A and B are shown apart, each in its own frame.
Chain A
Amino acid sequence: MSELLRLEKVTVRFGGLVAVSEVDFHVAEGELVGLIGPNGAGKTTLFNLVTGVYTPTTGRICLGGREVDGLNSSEITGMGVARTFQNIRLFNSLSVLDNVIAAFNLHLESGFFGALWRGAAFRAQEAQIQEEAMALLEIFGLREAAHTPCRSLPYGDQRRLEIVRALATRPKLLLLDEPAAGMNPTEKIELMRLIRFTQERFKLAVLLVEHDMKVVMGICERIAVLEYGRKIAEGTPTEIQKDKRVIAAYLGEEVADA
């Protein structure tokens, strides 16, 4: 499997605060990787680094072998990275369908002038996008709700819609930022199934930030652990569960010298 994302000694500082410190990390094609760590460990910052919201102070981030330094978010999305947000960020005034359609923007062949002229090529393109968007909604069980305002969806469906919207950009790597937050146990089980299904169906690599250990341990092939911006461990779920430093990070150190 070839490598999709590589971070080399990535550090980011906000003033005096080192949010991410010398992190080496990679994700290969089709992998499902988890990223965990206590609150404030720098997980979301790492997401924002990969998606171009922040630029690393030092270090390199490469996507498919190409360095992304200096590219803005939309260009990085164009290179095949899509994400969802910790606190849902849908386009609130748009319908469910329009939320997905907006994400097709990246692959438009007729843009500004096409929309003005509304010729045959434009109409064919619009029809095709509508069809594809509906097909995506269908897969995720949101087809019925396509024409309702996205705000009126239940919480779990909004999370699913965020995933659908991200998939519309045709990513190779999908970043999920705490998708299980605020979900009940049944919803979480459904979410795990959904993530695995998405990964297989769209042949994606998935990078998952999650607090819920059941979800992370249940679906991830590999897990990296951050604490205070540093990567303190990386390995299979079983390895991570036994790792002393990880246990210490989550539960506190055993009293030394006792």
Chain B
Amino acid sequence: MGPRFLLLLSIAAVSLVSFLFTGHPQASWPLGQMDDYLLNILILAGINVILAVSLNIVNGHTGQFSLGHAGFMAVGAYGSATLTQINSKACLASLAFLGNAAPLGLFVLSLLAGGVLAALAGLAVGLPSLRLKGDYLAIVTLGFGEIIRVMIQNTEALGGARGLAGIPSQTSLGWTWGVSLLSIYCVGSLVNSTYGRGFLAVRDDEIAAEAMGVNTTRYKVTAFVVGAFFAGLAGALYAHFIGYITPEGFSFLKSVDVVVMVILGGMGSTAGVTVAAIALTFLNEALREAEQYRMVAFALLLIILMITRPQGLLGGLGRWLPGKGGKS
């Protein structure tokens, strides 16, 4: 699928979702103020889309099994909050030349800082660990996620286990979906190019890929860094949406949530993963009353899907479409 098509598809999905739900009577939703509630879910959905699409380039397109996405998200969240909450006075002062736009400028800067920090973390984790394959890589990335969490828990400057409160809530629907469209565009563009065929080649057969001149290590690290960058952005957006972050919020379970979105949507299918991320966010909210049974529903969903459509919702579709990326 061409990246432009993906962009259109996701815009359509966003508008469809908002259209479907804004028409409903407010009473049908648990919280009184329905519009705020819906807005919140839509923002969460956008953040989940970023997470799922960015994990998809690692797990789906490049075929490496990473379980540490929440770790990169945490790096982004805490990294950005360091600018806007912990050191906000100094940062705002240095951006004083922007006048009234200083807080906004700082927000954008903190988003970028979150993304770049996470990307650096991705590089640091990826370089040594991407020599490993399959289960071993999964274990290392899982370990990385836990290390990040425990480190934050024990760093008083970051609020430790109590978490970090009072992060200015600046994340809006526009920012979230702006970034998620950006992530969809970037991942889609990368994969739909001669350069990007390298990711798929690595996934399909590493030995053959090397023999065809594809530097597999470089591709794997690149996928990791790109994935981590967007996970960092998602973390930064999340921190400035929820306003209060704790290390527990970025536990192993969060990584699993994202992996489930990727598997449900179809490994390597950006459109499918986007749809799955949105659907699961809404399902999660719809099942909020069922509390613990939510996870049972997710597990069942996953099992049913594995039996009926092992390639995922939209996996395997549109891969043989002719004439992509070629003629201008």
Which chain B residues border A166 with CB–CB below 8 Å? 211-212
Asked if B319 is at the interface of the complex by the 8 Å CB criterion, the answer is: yes
**Please, which residues of chain B bring their CB within 8 A of the CB of A111?**
195
Q: Is the CB of B195 within 8 A of A73?
A: no
CA distance A122 to B328 in the complex (A): 10
Interface size class of A (residues with CB under 8 A): 35 or more
Say whether B190 contacts A112, CB under 8 Å: yes
Can you list, as one digit per residue, whether each of B181-194 has a CB less than 8 Å from chain A (1) or not (0)?
Answer: 00000100110111
A111 to B213: give the CA distance in the assembly, Å: 14
Q: Which residues 281-328 of B sit at the A interface, judged by CB distance below 8 A? A: 319-322, 325-328
From B205, B212, B217, name the one whose CB has the most chain A CB atoms within 10 angstroms: B212
* B211-A82 in contact (CB<8A): yes
The answer to whether A105 and B203 have CB atoms under 8 Å apart is no
Contact B208 A116 (CB under 8 A): no
**Across the interface, which residues of A come within 8 angstroms of B208, CB to CB?**
85, 89-91
Q: How far is the CB of B278 from chain A (nearest CB, A)?
A: 24
Q: Which of B186, B212, B215, B328 interacts with A82 by CB under 8 Å?
A: B212
A236 within 8 A of B: no
| Complex interface: chain B residues within 8 A of A147 (CB) | 320-322
Q: Which residues of A have CB within 8 Å of B195?
A: 105, 108, 110-112, 114-115
Q: Please judge, given known A-B contacts A123-B328, A126-B325, whether A169 and B190 are in contact too, CB under 8 Å.
A: no
Tell me whether B204 and A91 are in contact (CB under 8 A): yes
Q: Given the known A-B contacts A115-B189, A115-B190, are A95 and B319 also in contact in the complex, defined by CB atoms under 8 Å?
A: yes
Q: How far is the CA of A167 from the CA of B203 in the complex (A)?
A: 21
Q: Is B326 touching A105 in the complex (CB atoms < 8 A)?
A: no
Query: A122–B327 Cα gap in the complex (Å)?
Result: 11
Is B212 in contact with A101, judged by CB distance below 8 angstroms? no
- Contact partner of A120 among B212, B215, B322, B328, CB < 8 A? B328
Q: Which residue of B lies closest to A119 (CB)?
A: B328
Is B13 among interface residues, defined by CB-CB distance under 8 A? no
| Chain B: minimal CB distance from A145 (Å) | 11
Q: Is B222 an interface residue (CB 8 A)?
A: yes
Would you give 9 A-B contacts (Cβ < 8 Å), ordered by A?
A: A74-B214, A74-B215, A89-B205, A91-B200, A93-B200, A98-B197, A105-B194, A122-B193, A130-B326
Interface residues of B (CB under 8 A from A): 3, 186, 189-190, 192-198, 200-201, 203-205, 207-217, 222, 268, 319-322, 325-328
